[in-house]
Amino acid sequence: MSIGRDYASLSARIVKSRFAQLVVNEHLKSKMFAIPVHLALGHEAFSEAVAAAMRDGDKLICSHRNLHYQFARGATLFEILEEFKLSDKGLAKGRGGSMNLTNPDGSIVYTSSILGNNLCVAAGVALSKRIKREEGVVSVVTGDGGMEEGAFYETLENARNMDLPLIILVENNHWSLGTRIEERRKPINLSQLASGLGARYTALEGNDPIQYRDELMAVRGRVHLQRIPEIVEVRLTTLGDWRLQTDEFPGGKFINYHAGSAPKVSLDNGPVLGSDASDPVYLIKENLGEPGFARLIESTRRLFSDFLTT
Amino acid sequence: MKYVSCVNELFRNEISKFHEFVLYGQNVSAGSCLGGLTRGLGESKGCSVFNVPNTENTLVGIGFGLMLSGTSSAFFMKQQDFLLLGIDQLTNTNNFVRQQAPTASFTIVNITMDAGYEGIQSSLNSLSDLCAIANCKGYTLSSKQDAELVVEQCFAKPGFRIISVSQRLFATEILDFQTAIAVHDDFVVRYRQGDTATIACSNFSLPQGKKLCDHFSQSGLDASLYGITAAHPCSYKPIVDDARKTGRLVIIDDSKSYSSINALLEIEALRAGVGMVHVVKRRMTEDSYRPLSESFDVDVSDVALHLNLPLRVA
């Protein structure tokens, strides 16, 4: 991978998002919030690429797991922490919490905790763009659980019929709550589903932010120009899992991370959580090399010094 | 004028006032144009019309998405029961959007299947039940006066509401009370004023209430007649005040609900010391969900007995 200016910029944003989430995690471990919070450790390369591919007039609609998009679209750690404390200094003045948190200044106009719910609303936002002849496309985030809802099919059908500038981003982390895909259904071929409705499909994986950004910009260009909705499915891993030791599982039972704190993740251990391509920060470390990565960590730590010392 | 023509004309007038408007639903500008209800509604210059597939959940969400983006719209649909498919949007998305101080309007206009013989797909005929789940505003249109009031005052107003029309009334002459005396802010309409009893009609029971009121007249007695157009809680003070004067209140409800909003009026009336309160409702049994005529008539002799009045029974 070539390390150009774009990569340096995106990797800095990814590491910043990771650090910010680790600070949130420390607050979660200390039970500082009454509300449920869904971290998105491991999702940062995609969310930063989505934000980088967005243009003026674009709108983003999120799901309950939206923290990485909030940071990618300009929310500060202070605003997020205050929001999660339901303080009037928060991003949405304490009225959004985490699962319904919006940030109109960052073009995040709607967020829903109900699986599938946000897809339908996104179609309406996209229809409004068409009616008002406004520039921009609408991207809506769902997951491999959310896409199981009937609303996924209905939204794609309506977006195709109405020629809407809609991109459906499927963050496929293989889990819905505590069940893997194979534990709850047969595989769904989204490419064929899209094709059957006359829509398009793009698959991403590997956590290369430059490749993600470039592919997303190409998707955006097609959707904007041709008004044919497109599904972008990204395969990623939600980090923060741990092993729970019980009498039944003396070797430890695998617990996937879904919500709340990631108890085995510590800010003290730094931002690298994985040892392969499933962790975008690990990849950055590999690509930058030890000295470059150490400099990046140091500069990021300085950004969050107020939060790291408390 | 036929009920459907009157309501159609009112909607047409309101839509023509919008610079930009989205009208959508199944068959809105094709086929039957929803039985005439939506015929010609899309002819206004600023109106975009979409005939859409059968995807109620998404169609409700689209309306809220439009609203969030400042575009006003109306989703016309048949079968109130089908709206149950959009209950997540009606509840959760509505509760988000209402906090955003919306500048656009979103109205769902649904046709309540109450003409009979529809079987299970007419299980839900109580708009207040739907409004109670969604905690939203809703209105039933039964007369020229309440249709004018609701459509002219609510349809273009920023925010969300459901307006329900009755399939049973579609082809009938619309009730037009030249003597409609007072209209109250909370969408309670007084059609007649009398001193013997007070009749309050909810959902689509105004025709039955009028018929009962006529029985009073034929018996040489005058009754007040009210229509409760709002399907959400509102102030029943005008009705209760009237009932305190007459001493008798008849509440008519043609819905199939056992938790109808009318209970609020009944409680308020009893608390206010109204002497006699009689509720006329459908008697629902397990058999009630078969395809049946669904006709709903007020038993005048029963009302006479409960109110201790010498009503002439035809």
**Residue A309 predicted with pLDDT over 80:** no
Split at pLDDT 50, 70, 90, the class of A178 is confident
Cβ atoms of A103 and A72 within 8 Å: the answer is no
**Residue A1 predicted with pLDDT over 60:** no
CA-based nearest residue to A300, from A18, A93, A102, A70: A18
Split at pLDDT 50, 70, 90, the class of B109 is very high
Cβ atoms of A157 and A194 within 8 Å: the answer is no
pTM equals 0.93
For chains A and B, what is the number of CB pairs under 8 angstroms?
Answer: 103
**Residue B144 predicted with pLDDT over 80:** yes
Which of B64, B69, B82 is the best residue to mutate to test the A interface, defined by the most A CB atoms within 10 Å of its own CB?
B69
How much of chain B, in percent, has pLDDT values that exceed 70? 98
Cβ atoms of B3 and B176 within 8 Å: the answer is no
Q: pLDDT of A113-139, one tens digit each?
A: 999 999 999 999 999 999 999 999 999
What is the value of ipTM here, to two decimals?
A: 0.90
Q: Which tokens in the block code for residue B70?
A: 């400042």
What's the first-to-final CA gap in chain B, in angstroms? 28
Contacts of A161 in chain B (CB under 8 A): 50, 52-53
B101/chain A closest Cα distance in angstroms = 13
Q: pLDDT of A17-73, one tens digit each?
A: 999 999 999 999 999 999 999 999 999 999 999 999 999 999 999 999 999 999 999
List C-alpha distances in Å: A211 to A42, A170, A230, A287, B310. 16, 17, 17, 14, 86
Averaged pLDDT for residues B154-183: 91
Which among A128, A132, A154 has the least Cβ separation from residue B65? A128
Q: Is there a contact between A129 and B93 if contact means CB atoms under 8 Å apart?
A: no
Please give the pLDDT value at position B314: 64
A156/chain B closest Cα distance in angstroms = 10
**Residue B183 predicted with pLDDT over 90:** no
Please give the pLDDT value at position B290: 86
Q: CA-nearest residue of chain B to A122?
A: B65
DSSP state of B81: G
Averaged pLDDT for residues B135-158: 95
B98/chain A closest Cα distance in angstroms = 13
**Residue A2 predicted with pLDDT over 70:** no
Averaged pLDDT for residues A256-266: 95
Please give the pLDDT value at position A60: 98
Q: Is there a contact between A155 and B48 if contact means CB atoms under 8 Å apart?
A: no
**Residue B182 predicted with pLDDT over 80:** no
Residue with tokens 């995807």: B55
The C-alpha angle with vertex B310 and arms to B306 and B313, in degrees rounded to 5, equals: 90
The C-alpha atoms of residue A41 and residue A35 are separated, in whole angstroms, by 18
**Residue B79 predicted with pLDDT over 60:** yes
